[in-house]
Structure 1
Amino acid sequence: MKKILLITLLCFSTITFAQKPIFTTAKIKSATVYSNSAELLQSAFVTLPSGTSEIVVKNVADYINENTIQIGAPANVTVLSVQLVRDYKETSNSNDVIKLSLLEQKFQDSIRFIENEISKINIEKNALTKTIELLDKKELAGTTKPEITISEFTKLVDYYRIKRNEFGQSIHVLNVKEEKFQEKIEILREKIASKKTIQNTKPVYSLVLQVMSSQASSINFDINYITNGANWIPFYDMRADNINSPINLMYKVKVSQNTGIDWKNVKLTLSSGNPNQNNTAPILQAWFLRFGYPRVYNNSNVIYNSLQGQVSGVAYDKKKEMDDESSISNYTTINENQLNVSFDIDIPYDILSNGKAHSVALKDLKLPATYKYYAVPKVEKEAFLLAEISEYSKFNLLPGEANIIFEGMYVGKTMINPNQTSDTLNLSMGRDKKIAIKREKIADKSGTKFLSGYKEQTFTYDITVKNNKKEAIEMLLKDQYPISTDKEITIELLDNGKAKVNAETGILTWDVKLGAGETKKLRISYKIKYPKDKFIDNL
């Protein structure tokens, strides 16, 4: 009997324990944001009794990677298990459920009341309609009597008109009332649907912890996990006063998150790493060749110009913004790890869970730059200003879009791509309209000759560059002549215009120095010889 009583008590205590979990709400302390995820650190305060307890932690993110959940607890508390649960029903929230049910019941009662009123309206409308039908029959029968006088006929028509109009107006009023009742029903049904959507479609996640405490105490749990609902993208504001000044580069990022919980007063760390990537080293397998069918490619020339603006634009006054952001560097620490770069920001931020981008300033950098103009008149008859940055790797730049502000003018956007092997990073600062470039074919030095079985074509071009600026400039100018891939096509460079010639690629390069207002003319000429019965489609 004692054993049975003991077992009964144990079962009763277990049921009681299961029915009374301890609820707590996690508060977010910091977030490390990656390119497509975030590592969140939260804390949860709870008062534990001695023994085993079940803790339900609310206010955790939606898209948690369960394999990354880590729980930190004091030495006197042992975490037995951790489980991510969707839509955990808390007893303290039962009042909210009851309120929702009562509200829905109230809406349903209103709908039933209005439907009863509509039924009464339909009964009244039906009675009026039948009355009109009887009136029509009676009055029509009265007008056909042979003994009726004109005076009686007139009175009968007047009575019919008055009554017919009265009944018609009554039906119209009832129709309007019915339409308004129908609109109210639709509004009430929409409210019921919206309440059900809020209650049912939005999942709420909680962490359920089974813990064992050696003594009763109040403690803080540290909760750490990775969630997929966050990202950050770098972008820049690039400013230069003139071609003799360094580039002021404001390093910024756009942070957005949709984790299901708002980040309030959170310390941010931005990392270039990716915790979700595959970290398995590749293994080479044997490479077996086999015969197949030739593929046909569209050999179209696509020229991509990432520059959106020109070195002439809208006045851009951002002095105040520069003053406000100039001290941001004091609050950002850059940590260069073996595999990635992270930015620790000491200023706490509020990032709401709405997916909207939030601009965060990281660093204000001064990049020593050497400016040079660049032009390829065969493709673009305008000069581009390039800023050459040496030893750019020490600035920890990441690929991103940059706004260009040159000489106080917003001139467009460009791309910064530091993932390259060259020692110098070229940043395009825009087009300069004050440098005029013209490339024209010289007709009397160009032409076609037929020699026995061959066709010989000569091409001659003059390139004219004029500096309309008030200061001297240096320009890197490029052009080209074709390269043969067929032994039947022979190409001879007749005049290289004193350019540096790359015989393998056919690229001609000039380092041109132009004084203020100075003009220079360069000439190139080449000859192509090939069988006259053939056609070169890209000449």
Structure 2
Amino acid sequence: MVKINVLVLFLTVFMCFGQENYTVTTSKIKEAKIYYSGGIVKQSFSADVFPGKNYIIIKEFGRNSGIDISSFKPDKKITLIRYESYNDNAYQYSDKIGKSNDTDAVNDSIEFYRKSYKKIEQDLSLIRNSIGIVQKNQGLQSPNSADILKMIEFNQKTLKEFYTEETSLNAKLNATQSKISALENRRNISSKNSGLSNILVLQVTSDKKQHVNFEVNQNIQGASWHPYYVIKSNGIQSPLKILYKAKIQQNTGLELKNIPIKLINGSFSSEDKPYELDRWFLRTERDYYISNQAFQREKSSDNERANSIQEVAVIGNSRISQKTMKTEINLNKDTVIPTDVEVSEDINEFNVTTGYKYFATPKLENKTFLLAYIKDYSKYNFLPGNADIFMDDMLIGSVNIDTSQLTNEMLISLGSDSNILTKRELINKQTKDLGEKEKIESYSYEITVKNNKDTTISLELKDQIPLSTAENIKIELINTDNAAYDKSSGFIIWNFNIKPNETKKIKFGFNVTLPKDLITVDIK
């Protein structure tokens, strides 16, 4: 009786822990974070597990290259064993999901044609072996005319038949493979339409029946976004209209919708955390030689020792680094980010009170650029990116938004204006001797500015004089014409207004005192 009870107990335990249990559930995305490169998707699902081995079939999980078994976080005590993903070929689990009717017939056809394909391959191999045997035995020892005629007749019949059969089998092989490919494609399409794509099967074991909730953090390698802008201006009397946009893409295999989606600048890194200080041990030269007798110096006088002592601070593996701060942008809840397609989303739109000025460096080129400057630009949370510039609803070009400017103003170039003309000319050059060893060279320039616009403009004009690299060469600015001059850089800057159709001329020059045996070579 005792033996029977033990046997019953053993069978009961075996039935509980030896059988395989299948549970079907659906994953839901809770949140997505997308960085310039990479991202994180948080998913959740729940399932009932039973004593023994369990296969949890998770639908709508998406592509899962960015996870491992440790990514699954259950809220109950179970053992995670392994997982398998089926992005497009989960038909083997169709009966578990209740979708077998649509795929069974297709699977049977695929199996039939695969067997046919294997049979054709075998026949083709036999034909090719036969051709090889015939070709190796074509050589005859001292053939006569009759033997040669027989060989020709044999080639015309037997080898010709073999070659014809080989061609026919190759055609059948290709046709069979085409049918298999078409059926597999049909099966994959049917799987997607019936909810059999993007399936993950998680294998776990449990010691009891329980309901388990899972959280999964999935790293997305194929996600990215970058900011870009559309800047519109209707002239220097109106504010700038800035459209703040984002180009986003992701390859999870699922649509991101009806969830919180955050765009974060920078690249995703699981190691993005602040550093901690290690302990700092203070060492002195005296401590070092006392503690290490093998390298102890010979004793010296107190004065010599006092002169040789230096305090040295040794930092062992200490790293102090300011963590890069991230900017988070929360998209609207109704935002939809499809998979495998780049989309553009509006982030913000605002009018910016802007100052305008024209800027020219006629020494480099005879172009005048319109600059817009935005004060206190940090309050708009701009990120580096490209911007399309529109003037009076016409696209005139693209510029890069630089947020690393170390001033309170951000300068944005709105392109060159052909109605503001500039010209720079060297109008006079003279050389005079200063005794037997030195000479003085004088250079005079004239800059002409013509305003062909119908409005008064504010213009900043920039030029320069050379800097001396030797004590025996002296350079002096003359005739600044009310310019601001920076001696350390040699830059000369004029700021003035110029009326409609007005022409303004500016003159400046400089003297160079240098030894007679030296020649200036780059003054134009």
What's the TM-score once normalised by structure 2's chain length? 0.69
Tell me the secondary structure at the aligned position of residue 345 of structure 1.
Answer: coil
Any stretches of 5+ residues in structure 1 without a counterpart? Answer: 126-132, 139-163, 287-336
Q: How does 1:348-367 map to 2 (within 5 A)?
A: 348-352=335-339, 354=340, 356-367=341-352
| Residues 495-537 of structure 1 deviation map (CA, whole Å, 9 limit, x = unaligned) | 2232111111111111121111111111221122334445667
Contact 1:52 1:212 in 2 (8 A): no
Query: Does the 8 Å contact 1:27/1:43 carry over to 2?
Result: yes
| Of 453, 471, 475, the match for 1:487 | 471
Letter in 2 for 1:281: Y
Whole-Å separation in 1 of the counterparts to 2:254 and 2:509? 67
Asked if the contact 2:446–2:505 (Cα under 8 Å) also holds between the matched residues in 1, the reply is yes
For residues 101 and 266 of structure 1, do their structure 2 counterparts lie closer, same or farther at Cα, with a shift above 3 Å needed? farther
Q: Find the residue that maps to 2:93 and give its secondary structure.
A: helix
Match of 2:334 in 1: 347
Given candidates 257, 264, 283, the residue that maps to 1:265 is 257
- Identify the residue that residue 226 of structure 2 maps to in structure 1: 233
The yes-or-no answer on 1:496 pairing with 2:518 is: no
Say if 2:100 is the partner of 1:107: no
Matches within 5 A, 1:69-468: 69=71, 71=73, 78-82=76-80, 85-87=83-85, 92=93, 102-112=112-122, 182=170, 185=173, 207-208=202-203, 221-259=214-252, 261-267=253-259, 268-272=261-265, 275-276=268-269, 277-281=271-275, 339-352=326-339, 354=340, 356-442=341-427, 445-449=428-432, 451=434, 452-454=436-438, 456-468=440-452
Match in the other structure for 1:37: 38
Provide the rounded CA distance (Å) in 2 between the counterparts of 1:83 and 1:273: 35
Deviations 1:324-363 (A, max 9, x none): xxxxxxxxxxxxx9853322322231421x3x42212211
Q: 1:7 to 1:136 in 2, by over 3 A?
A: closer
TM-score normalised according to structure 1 size: 0.67
Whether contact under 8 Å (2:37, 2:266) holds in the other structure is no
Q: 1:398 & 1:266 partners in 2: Cα distance?
A: 26
The amino acid of 1:526's aligned partner reads: F
Q: CA deviation at 1:394?
A: 1.8
How many Å separate the matches in 2 of 1:341 and 1:264? 17
Whether contact under 8 Å (2:36, 2:266) holds in the other structure is yes
Give the Cα–Cα distance (whole angstroms) in 2 for the partners of residues 226 and 272 of structure 1. 16
Contact 1:441 1:462 in 2 (8 A): yes
1:152 aligned partner: none
How many Å separate the matches in 2 of 1:83 and 1:495?
85
Q: Deviations over 1:117-166 (max 9, x none)?
A: 889999999xxxxxxx979969xxxxxxxxxxxxxxxxxxxxxxxxx9xx
Contact 1:441 1:459 in 2 (8 A): yes
Equivalent residues of 1:79, 1:209 under 8 A apart:
no
Aligned-partner SS, 1:346: coil
Distance 2:256 2:146 in 1: 74
Q: What displacement does 1:243 show?
A: 1.7
- 2:328 partner letter: V
Distance 1:250 1:381, change over 3 A: same
> 3-state SS of the aligned residue for 1:108?
helix
Q: Name the amino acid aligned to 1:412.
A: G
Q: Deviations over 1:459-484 (max 9, x none)?
A: 32211111111211111111111222
Which stretches in structure 2 are left out of the alignment for 5+ residues?
A: 96-103, 136-144, 189-196, 282-323
Residue 476 of structure 1, aligned match among 460, 464, 481: 460
Contact 1:60 1:207 survives alignment (8 Å): no
Letter in 2 for 1:517: N
CA RMSD of aligned residues (A): 4.8
For 1:83 and 1:60, the matched residues in 2 are separated by 20
- Counterpart Cα distance in 2 of 1:67 and 1:530: 77
Aligned pair in 2 of structure 1 residues 242, 134: CA closer, same or farther (>3 Å)? farther
Residue type at the aligned position of 1:464 = T
2-structure distance, mates of 1:283, 1:450 = 67
Residue 272 of structure 1 deviates from its aligned partner by: 2.8
Q: How many residues align?
A: 444
Contact residue 388 and residue 425 of structure 1 kept, 8 A? yes
1:446 counterpart letter in structure 2? K
Q: Does 1:10 align with 2:8?
A: no
Task: For 1:15, give the aligned amino acid.
Answer: G
- AA of the residue aligned to 1:255: I
Residue 226 (structure 1) shift: 3.6
Q: What is the letter of the counterpart of residue 458 of structure 1? A: S
**Alignment partners' CA distance in 2, 1:475 and 1:68:** 63
The residue type equivalent to 1:85 in the other structure is Y
Instruction: Give the corresponding residue for 1:62.
Output: 64
2:505 corresponds to: 521
CA contact (8 A) 1:62 1:204 kept: no
Structure-2 change in CA distance of 1:414 and 1:221 (3 Å): same
- Sort the Cα spacing of 1:265 and 1:526 in 2 relative to 1 into closer, same or farther, 3 A: same
> 1:8 offset after TM fit, Å?
5.0
